Structure 1
Amino acid sequence: MQLHRALCLFRFSPAVADDLNRLDDALTEHRLRPCGPQEMATRGFVPPIGRGPDAALTHSVNACTWFTVGGEDKVLPPAVVNDELQRKVQKIAEEEGRKVGGRERKRIKEDLLNELLPRAFVRSSRLNAYVDKRNGWLVVDSTSRKAAENALSQVREALGSFPAVPLAPEESPRILMTDWLANGNLPEGLALGDECELRDPATATGAIAIARRQDLDSDEVKEHLRTGKQVWRLGLTFGDRMSFVLGEDLVVRKLKFLDVVLDELGDSHQDAAAEADAGFALLTLEVERLLAKLAEWFGLPRPADA
């Protein structure tokens, strides 16, 4: 397993966690199938560890269950379709001496797609995620909220219902992180990294200042804050064990485990499956600590049972 590089987060209640005990059985009916000749894309679940029809669709360590949403997408470049369409329209004009109207052009394009789709290349994708049933988190390895929502939809389809909700912080991440950067009021165990993105929320054009590989305590950064810019993204390190960039949307980007953690993982595993298992166990333990602090700092209570 490649350790998560991003954390897009959702929360769910204890009752929802109990329902997740049937996740493995539920996913079986929703395995990824190949794209049909006339399909543009398919989505479904693939084994997080191993390959083949008999490989398990979930992998659990303690209260955390890892699953992977797979996808197949036909690659049909618009330029190819448009060039072929133009060729057919030109042929009609030359042979029949007439212009092709909009409705006929649309029909020709649809026929072209039906003709080209079976021969199109197929691009495969995998999106890792896991549920922490003890603490009520769904963690998706993506910086894209849309991609994470699509993964959540796949689980909902498999289970029939999965009322996990986006984060609704009680404390404004933008204001709190701006205070961290401007005044150095960081929580214990948290330190500034070397990058940030600052924006002026008062202007429609959204003046942006981006700093990378820079001392965030510098006069240049402070001057941007004095002119009214606020933090949109902030590089941080947590407990000397991981570094990441936290966005005002509370998506964790560029997650990287530091040497002390990687040393604990080691490289003595006998096979890829054992390495993936150890990596997942380490990931969930470290992320559990971080998420508990995010919930504390920003006010992210776990939803209560209805």
Structure 2
Amino acid sequence: MFFRNLTLFRFSAPVATDLDRLEEALPEHRLRPVGPMEMSTRGFISPLGRNEEALVHNVGRNTMVTVGSEDKLLPSAVVNDEIANRVQKIVDEEGRKVSGRERKRMKDDVMNELLPRAFVRTSRMSGYVDKKHGWLVLDTSSRKSAENTLSQVREALGSFPAVPLAPEESPRILMTHWVATGELPAGLVLGDECELRDPATASGAIARCRRQDLDTDEIREHLRTGKQVFQLGLVFDDRISFVLGEDLILRKIKFTDVVLDGQADSPESAAAEADANFALMALEYERLLGKLEEWFKLPRPE
């Protein structure tokens, strides 16, 4: 259940009160099976698992939701091969060229024939809202996937003005300063991963380091030549390790043994275990996100 990547949005205190409608709003937007002639469907599913009905799961002041999807797998190469076969058959049997308009009709016919037989891939993305502090936390490192999930919530509620983070401190400049000087905020230490780029040009030099000590002259030499830190491995309070991007997306999150040792040994049931893990995760992320807000000066919308 622990989220391994975090893409974050913020919302105001007045918006938080409107989130109490989630439980009554989501059932009308439940995921339905993809139809024979559809490429995909999106909708809400239970955060608690396949056989559960509840679309909202509350633990404390945090509310978890999950968006599911069903997508038809119909590779363009398969469609193009079938069209090519049909075109070649016309050339061989009728001795004429196939026009662009005829090719388009042919493609529509191929799609109509193949779509009902295509395999269906299911996927899910979970997220939760921290109504007290105004965070929407989504378990993905893909900005596009996060925006799609946010759109599902907006559609269900009619409106949900959550916005991307707007740091007053440049993450790239601040992370570069941390690595160059070794002066990190209290409780934060360097990990063993970073990505350095020359920001002057889109095709500038890139240096990627993994499983490497970042407090070295080699790394600082890259910085002296003009590179900046675009991604940086960090460890917070000996409890959470992660890679922070200049887009303020958190990737590769892992809880250390200090956190994991605090899990209940013998939960009463699977539901009790899920609740305990969600509560533990949300509490740890609340502390970390509070520090992100402080370090990068992340205003909460008014």
TM-score range, shorter chain: over 0.9
Which residue in 1 is equivalent to 2:276?
Answer: 278
Gaps of at least 5 residues in structure 1 are: none
Q: Distance in 1 between the 2:268 and 2:116 partners?
A: 42
DSSP-derived class of the 1:217 partner: coil
Which residue in 2 is equivalent to 1:106?
Answer: 104
Cα drift, residue 55 of structure 1: 1.4
1:26-64 CA-to-partner distances (Å, cap 9, x unmatched) read: 111100000001000000000000334x61001111111
Gaps of at least 5 residues in structure 2 are: none
Q: Kindly indicate whether the alpha-carbon contact (under 8 Å) linking 2:189 and 2:235 is maintained by their aligned counterparts in 1.
A: yes
Which residue in 2 is equivalent to 1:233?
Answer: 231
Moved more, 199-208 or 35-44: 199-208
Kindly provide the amino acid, as one letter, of the partner of residue 113 in structure 1.
M
Cα drift, residue 248 of structure 1: 0.4
Which residue in 2 is equivalent to 1:18?
Answer: 17
Which residue in 2 is equivalent to 1:40?
Answer: 39
Kindly provide the amino acid, as one letter, of the partner of residue 156 in structure 2.
A
Q: Kindly indicate whether the alpha-carbon contact (under 8 Å) linking 1:50 and 1:273 is maintained by their aligned counterparts in 2.
A: no
DSSP-derived class of the 1:38 partner: coil
Length-normalised TM-score, structure 1 = 0.97
1:217-252 CA-to-partner distances (Å, cap 9, x unmatched) read: 112111101111000000000000000000000000
* Matching of residue 262 in structure 1 with residue 260 in structure 2: yes
Cα drift, residue 259 of structure 1: 0.5
Q: Kindly indicate whether the alpha-carbon contact (under 8 Å) linking 2:233 and 2:241 is maintained by their aligned counterparts in 1.
A: yes
* Matching of residue 298 in structure 1 with residue 275 in structure 2: no
Q: Distance in 1 between the 2:268 and 2:83 partners?
A: 55
Q: Distance in 2 between the 1:264 and 1:129 partners?
A: 23
| C-alpha spacing 1:124/1:204, structure 2 compared with 1 (3 Å) | closer
Moved more, 41-50 or 77-86: 77-86
Q: Distance in 2 between the 1:38 and 1:3 partners?
A: 36
DSSP-derived class of the 1:220 partner: helix
Which residue in 1 is equivalent to 2:57?
Answer: 59
Kindly provide the amino acid, as one letter, of the partner of residue 29 in structure 2.
H
DSSP-derived class of the 1:214 partner: coil
Q: Kindly indicate whether the alpha-carbon contact (under 8 Å) linking 2:55 and 2:66 is maintained by their aligned counterparts in 1.
A: yes
DSSP-derived class of the 1:116 partner: helix
Kindly provide the amino acid, as one letter, of the partner of residue 35 in structure 2.
G
Q: Distance in 2 between the 1:172 and 1:303 partners?
A: 18
Length-normalised TM-score, structure 2 = 0.98
The number of residues matched between the two structures is 302
The RMSD of aligned alpha carbons is 1.0
| C-alpha spacing 1:92/1:267, structure 2 compared with 1 (3 Å) | farther
The sequence identity of aligned pairs, in percent, is: 71
DSSP-derived class of the 2:96 partner: coil
**Given the alignment, which residue of 148, 170, 173 partners 1:172?**
170
Counterparts in 2 of 1:92-171, with a 5 A limit? Answer: 92-171=90-169
Kindly provide the amino acid, as one letter, of the partner of residue 145 in structure 1.
R
* Matching of residue 28 in structure 1 with residue 27 in structure 2: yes
Kindly provide the amino acid, as one letter, of the partner of residue 291 in structure 1.
L
Which residue in 2 is equivalent to 1:6?
Answer: 5
Q: Distance in 2 between the 1:251 and 1:226 partners?
A: 26
DSSP-derived class of the 1:135 partner: coil
Q: Distance in 1 between the 2:201 and 2:11 partners?
A: 36
Q: Distance in 2 between the 1:73 and 1:255 partners?
A: 28
Q: Kindly indicate whether the alpha-carbon contact (under 8 Å) linking 2:264 and 2:276 is maintained by their aligned counterparts in 1.
A: no
DSSP-derived class of the 1:185 partner: coil
Moved more, 116-125 or 219-228: 219-228
Cα drift, residue 266 of structure 1: 3.7
DSSP-derived class of the 1:29 partner: helix
DSSP-derived class of the 2:30 partner: coil
1:265-300 CA-to-partner distances (Å, cap 9, x unmatched) read: 144224332222111111100000000000001011
Q: Distance in 2 between the 1:44 and 1:281 partners?
A: 25
Kindly provide the amino acid, as one letter, of the partner of residue 19 in structure 1.
D
Q: Kindly indicate whether the alpha-carbon contact (under 8 Å) linking 2:198 and 2:205 is maintained by their aligned counterparts in 1.
A: yes
